Structures are given as structure tokens and as C-alpha cells.
Structure 1
């Protein structure tokens, strides 16, 4: 035989053997890759925020309405949130209107768009006249905040204040507000 015929015969034999070997292997389907579900992004509580609020302040004698504003900052680690806040309220008391300020720290747990938290701090009526002010308090309370969009949340909280000095009133304070997160 010639070299050309020998090469062709060898190539044909190789193809026949390879085809027979491949036919003996079972055909395995390609594995199906599961599609990841689309999940709405979780609200990020970290960063600065500013807001407004309304509510009531009750000392041992009167319940007065209040309107105020707040500035704060939060830091979030997984589902845990720590923050600090400064707030000033105009309290429409009897006989006079006075300012009430507070500095608080808060810590809580975030469940997606809901933040449950506790708060502690200091509150003062900025030395309002004794007839209208409530004095200075150590504050402690609880709150819940709901994210209603990517940058806006609604907040509700209750705070109890223990009078520090003689003549300072214990207070109950409830506020509802809205915050813009930067």
C-alpha cells in the first residue's frame, strides 16, 4: 500500500474507534443553574438624618403639646444599629411656651425596613421659669422607626424622664416624626 492509503486507513480506523467509545458514554444533561430570587434591598440605617416631630410632654400636673426638630447619626453592623441624636422642641405649656432640648444615644435591631430601639440621654428645659418648665431629666425610652422610602422614615417613641434636682419634674414624652436620611 501506498503511504496515502495507509494514512487514510489509519485515520478512518481512529474515527471509528473514537465514535464507538463516545457512543458507549451516557449523555449527561448540563446542570441547571438556579436563578437567584430578586430581593428588595434592605434599608441602610447608617448615616446622618434630620427630621421634624410632634407630640406631647406630661409632667405630674399638665400635658403640653410640642413641635420640634432633630439631628442624628446612625451606624449599622449587620442587623445592629447604634446612634446619637440632638433634638430641640417648642413646648406649648401653661402659662408659657418654653424650649426643651435633649441629647440621646440609641441602640437597636433592624429588621429590613423596621428599626426597634432603646434610647437613653439627658433632657433640659434650658432653665425655663419654674412656673412653666420641667427642669432637667435623665431620659430612657423605646421607639420604632419605619423606612417608607430610600431616604425617608417615620419614627414613634416614648421616653420617661427622671427629675435630677429638687423641683425638677418626672416626665412622660411621646413623639411621632419623620426623618430624611442623607
Structure 2
């Protein structure tokens, strides 16, 4: 009887010890994300540079040569907000140097943007605002209306094409709504 009790005791101890070892087994695991954001994040601050041209008609704009195409180099900074998917609202400031035959001119614009995120990486928008042109200490007020397309090329960089119609606040006879245009291509970094 003693041998039988001893055998049962050893068997029970072996089974319980095996179960205790299995409970202590450590298996490393990494948690699986529940949700990953898809596409480019258009919200937040951004800044970039642009290159393009400024074109004026016979009425022209103060401080810019009349009936001439001019090279423009500039920078822009702004902020975007997604108010409801896919609607985007934004504010932007632009500053450009406009190369001209005699003296270069400066152009500064403050724009509001309303856009739609068409796909994860493509934004189409309309822009409008006010600003000034300046040359040799002379400044004049202007307005701008237009739009553009912006395409994300990496997680933080986008490329944009934009066209803005430019006008002044003159009420002279024969003055057109748009006295010029600005077309640019730019590269932007989104923070």
C-alpha cells in the first residue's frame, strides 16, 4: 500500500509541476493596432517655396509692369483644418519677389482657402484674399481669387500648382475685374 500511495503522490506532483511550469512560460507578443490612419494628414501647419510667373494686362497693377510676363519667386506658410470629412478650411500668407526690367517688386497676399480632399493624397481648393504690391517705397492694395491642386508625395511633403487672378481696387472706367494673374508651382512641408 505504501508503494501505491508513493506512486500516486509522485505522479500527482509531476502533473502539478508541469502545469506550474507552463503557466510561467513567457511568450513575447506585440499588440496589433486597432486603427491606422489612412493617407496624408492635411491638417496643421505647413510652409514652402514656390516659383512661377506674374502676368498683367493693359490696365496693369500698380508697381508691376504693364503687358509683361514676369518671373516670381516666393514663400508661403499657413494652417489647415478639416472641419468635416472631406472639407478643408485654411489660412495662408504668401510673399513673392517679382523680377522686372527696371526694379523688382514685392507682392504679399493673405488668403483664405476652402478645399476638398478628393483622395487620400489629393487636395483641390479655391483661394481668395487681399494683399499689396510694393516697389521703391510705393504700395498699392490688391485682391486675389483662384484655386489650385495639391498632391502629397511623401508623409510630410506635397507639391502644388496654383493660379490666382489679381485685381486692384480702382474704379476707373474700363478697369477690368482681373488686371493680372499669378501662376506658381510649389513644394511644401507639413509639420
Q: Same fold (TM over 0.5)?
A: yes
Q: What is the aligned partner in structure 2 of residue 5 from structure 1?
A: none
**Structure 1 runs not aligned, ≥5 long:** 1-37
Residue in 1 that maps onto 2:133: 125
Aligned to 1:65: 71
CA RMSD in angstroms comes to 2.4
- Look up the SS of the partner of 1:45 in the other structure: coil
Pair 135,63 (structure 1): closer, same or farther in 2 beyond 3 Å: farther
Aligned runs of 1:22-33 on 2, under 5 Å? Answer: none
Alignment partner for residue 41 of structure 2, among 39, 44, 66? 44
- 1:50–1:179 Cα contact (<8 Å) kept: yes
| Ranges in structure 2 where 5+ consecutive residues have no aligned partner | 1-34, 58-66
Maintained 8 Å contact 2:47/2:78: yes
Asked if the contact 1:137/1:170 (under 8 Å) is kept, the reply is: no
2:184 to 153, 157, 175: 175
1:41: Cα distance to partner? 1.8
How far is the alpha carbon of 1:135 from its aligned partner? 3.8
Instruction: Measure how far apart 1:92 and its partner are.
Output: 0.2
Q: Equivalent of 1:107, from 95, 98, 114?
A: 114
- TM-score (ref. length: structure 1): 0.71
Give the match for residue 79 of structure 1.
86
Question: Which protein has the larger Cα radius of gyration, Structure 1 or Structure 2?
Answer: 1
Displacement of 1:138:
1.5
Aligned counterpart, 2:155: 150
- How many residue pairs were aligned? 142
CA distance in 2, matches of 1:134, 1:56: 20
Using the alignment, how far apart are the partners of 1:140 and 1:166 within structure 2? 18
Distance 1:162 1:139 in 2: 7
Contact residue 52 and residue 70 of structure 1 kept, 8 A: yes
TM-score by length of 2: 0.68
Counterpart contact for 2:133–2:142, Cα < 8 Å: no
Per-residue deviation, 1:153: 0.2
Alignment of 1:14-29 (within 5 A): none
**1:131-146 pair list within 5 angstroms:** 135-146=140-151
Provide the secondary structure at the position in 1 that maps to 2:39: coil
